[in-house]
């Protein structure tokens, strides 16, 4: 089956970047076709093809933006299609294909391993089989536990079968940082003061967003800690530099925005103003976690202060961590840029953090990712300003939400023009596969084929600043 798919699509002739880009496109188009058919809609009619494409792109790119209310528009089959796209989009089609190959007892080729490595943002994958099966196993465990916890609320509210399905849908959507739900147009606002629902969703978002490499690094070290082979001090120092940076930056990006949201919205009657203090704190933390890449909300974003909206745009742009289900430029990218700036201001020749030297090539790569994403965001915002009649802050918010695959909105998604929907679809697609992956897949650069690669030129000097 896999060989047929590879041959039909010409996968063997594609570069790893092209395979990743094509795999997401295949899922999006397949999902859009299914959502267009009458078997997916509640009223049994054909669904608007552009809206179907928008919904499919949003689900596959684990964004959460939607031009319609999922619960009101799609029947059980349509919702299952969306759920399947969220799960496949969260882990990546190539990851599932690799697991399928392993399950059929066939070894992955070198090219297939490279594709999986690129898909999961890993440095290397020496034991690919174990790594992939661990991802699948832990994903099912986290999503299963989340669904069980959510069922304690959903079943009493919606009945046994509908409650179970809503629990599973919410758990998978939260873990994959998708932001879709089947509760209606108000997202999780009905559960804004429910600790069980809010804390479960928050935990799933964080676990899915920190990345697979961090899971396994912490798992291996925690085993030694629990067996008392190492002390907590040694446990902390034994974690990889990547894990330390991800955990530190993630904690900062949860605490600081939560504090600012609490301060800015404390007396706002349209958001936190009527809540008790504990409810305000929990909601501030929920929004801080969700807005980085998940798209759930327990308050109406249409009532936010302008300063809060701007803060959210910045945090959405940063996003989650590499190798997980989150979007954005990633926590490690921002961390590397901050380390570089601090080192440059101090006049240090080397960039050192936690007794580890950071290579210049990593910083260069981080700069490229940051500025390419910033350019994409500005371009998308500019295009939306041309085709949409809405306030700039709402347009910028929508663009940042799409590029960072967040799914939060200030209420303009349903009113987007056809051209606006196309722009958002492109931004969601670029945000999920990565701007660098898209450029590589288009350019398919072959080193050594141009004269410029064989000639060395004198060094030029440019005045900067």
Which of the pair, 189 or 434, is modelled with greater confidence?
A: 189
Q: What is the mean pLDDT of the chain?
A: 83
Instruction: Give the model confidence (pLDDT) of 46-70 as tens digits.
Output: 999 999 999 999 999 888 899 999 9
Q: Is the pTM of this model over 0.75?
A: yes
Task: Tell me the pLDDT tens digit for each residue of 413-457.
Answer: 999 999 999 999 999 999 888 776 666 656 654 444 444 455 667
Pick the more confident residue, 252 or 11: 252
Confidence of residue 161 (pLDDT cuts 50, 70, 90): very high
Given this model, what pLDDT does residue 460 score? 64
pLDDT value of residue 145: 95
Contact (Cβ atoms closer than 8 angstroms) between residue 62 and residue 432: yes
Q: Tell me, what's the pLDDT at 30?
A: 93
Reported confidence tier of residue 300, pLDDT bands at 50, 70, 90: confident
Cβ neighbours of 387 (radius 10 Å): 15
Rounded to a whole number of angstroms, the distance between the first and last alpha carbons of the chain is 58
Mean pLDDT of 193-205: 93
CB 81 within 8 A of CB 41: no
What does the pLDDT look like over 306-322, one tens digit per residue? 999 999 999 999 988 87
Interval 382-409: pLDDT, tens: 999 999 999 999 999 999 999 998 888 8
Which of 98-112, 270-284, 328-342 has maximum average pLDDT?
A: 270-284
SS3 352: strand
Number of neighbouring beta carbons within 10 Å of residue 343 = 17
Instruction: Name the more confident of 50 and 240.
Output: 50
Higher pLDDT, 217 or 126: 217
Percentage above 90 pLDDT, the chain: 42
**Higher pLDDT pick, 93 / 387:** 387
**pLDDT recorded at residue 111:** 60
Q: How far apart are the C-alpha atoms of 54 and 59, rounded to whole Å?
A: 9
Q: Give 123's pLDDT tier (boundaries 50, 70, 90).
A: low
Please give the Cα distance from 317 to 345 (Å, whole number). Answer: 25
Confidence of residue 9 (pLDDT cuts 50, 70, 90): very low
Output 132 or 344, whichever has higher pLDDT: 344
Please give the distance of CA 329 from its chain centroid, rounded to a whole number. 10
Task: Give me the mean pLDDT over the 121-137 stretch.
Answer: 69
Q: What does 153-209 look like in DSSP terms, one character per residue?
A: HHHHHH-HHHHHHHHHHHHHHHHTT----SS-TTTTGGGTT-HHHHHHHHHHHHHHH
For residue 230, is pLDDT > 80?
no
Task: Look at residue 125 and tell me whether its pLDDT is greater than 50.
Answer: yes
Burial degree of 368 (CB within 10 A; 0-12, 13-18, 19+): middle
Residue 448, pLDDT score: 43
Q: How far apart are CA 47 and CA 41, in angstroms?
A: 7
125-144 average pLDDT score:
79
Predicted pLDDT of residue 397: 94
pLDDT at 359: 82
């Amino acid at each position: 089956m896999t060989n047929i798919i590879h041959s039909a699509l010409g996968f063997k002739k594609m570069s790893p970047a092209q395979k990743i880009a094509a795999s997401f496109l295949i899922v999006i188009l397949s999902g859009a076709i299914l959502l267009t058919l009458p078997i997916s809609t509640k009223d049994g009619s054909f669904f608007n093809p552009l809206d179907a494409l928008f919904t499919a792109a949003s689900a596959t790119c684990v964004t959460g933006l939607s031009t319609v209310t999922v619960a009101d528009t799609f029947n059980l089959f349509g919702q299952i299609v969306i759920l399947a796209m969220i799960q496949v989009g969260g882990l990546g089609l190539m990851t599932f294909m690799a697991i399928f190959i392993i399950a059929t007892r066939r070894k992955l080729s070198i090219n297939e391993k490279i594709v999986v490595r690129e898909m999961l943002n890993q440095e290397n994958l020496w034991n690919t089989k174990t790594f992939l099966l661990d991802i699948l196993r832990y994903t099912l465990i986290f999503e299963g536990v989340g669904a069980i916890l959510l069922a304690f609320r959903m079943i009493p509210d919606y009945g046994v079968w509908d409650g179970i399905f809503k629990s599973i849908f919410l758990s998978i959507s939260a873990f994959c940082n998708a932001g879709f739900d089947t509760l209606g147009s108000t997202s999780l606002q009905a559960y804004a003061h429910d600790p069980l629902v809010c804390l479960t969703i928050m935990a799933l978002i964080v676990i899915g967003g920190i990345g697979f490499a961090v899971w396994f690094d912490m798992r291996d070290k925690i085993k030694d800690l629990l067996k008392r082979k190492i002390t907590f001090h040694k446990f902390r120092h034994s974690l990889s530099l990547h894990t330390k940076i991800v955990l530190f930056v993630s904690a900062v990006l949860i605490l600081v925005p939560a504090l600012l949201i609490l301060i800015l919205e404390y007396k706002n009657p349209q958001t936190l103003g009527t809540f008790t203090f504990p409810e305000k704190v929990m909601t501030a933390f929920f929004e801080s976690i969700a807005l980085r890449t998940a798209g759930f909300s327990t308050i109406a974003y249409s009532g936010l202060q302008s300063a809060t909206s701007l803060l959210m745009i910045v945090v959405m742009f940063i996003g989650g961590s590499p190798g997980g289900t989150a979007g954005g430029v990633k926590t490690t990218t921002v961390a590397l840029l901050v380390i570089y700036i601090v080192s440059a201001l101090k006049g240090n020749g080397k960039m050192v953090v936690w007794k580890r030297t950071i290579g210049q090539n990593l910083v260069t790569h981080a700069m490229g990712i940051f500025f390419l994403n910033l350019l994409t965001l500005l371009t998308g915002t500019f295009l939306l300003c041309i085709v949409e009649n809405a306030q700039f802050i709402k347009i910028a918010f929508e663009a940042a939400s799409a590029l960072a695959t967040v799914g939060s909105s200030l209420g303009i998604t349903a009113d987007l023009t056809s051209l606006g929907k196309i722009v958002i679809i492109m931004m969601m697609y670029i945000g999920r596969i990565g701007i660098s992956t898209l450029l590589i897949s288009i350019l398919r650069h072959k080193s050594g084929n141009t004269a410029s690669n064989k000639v060395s030129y004198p060094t030029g000097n440019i005045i900067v600043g």
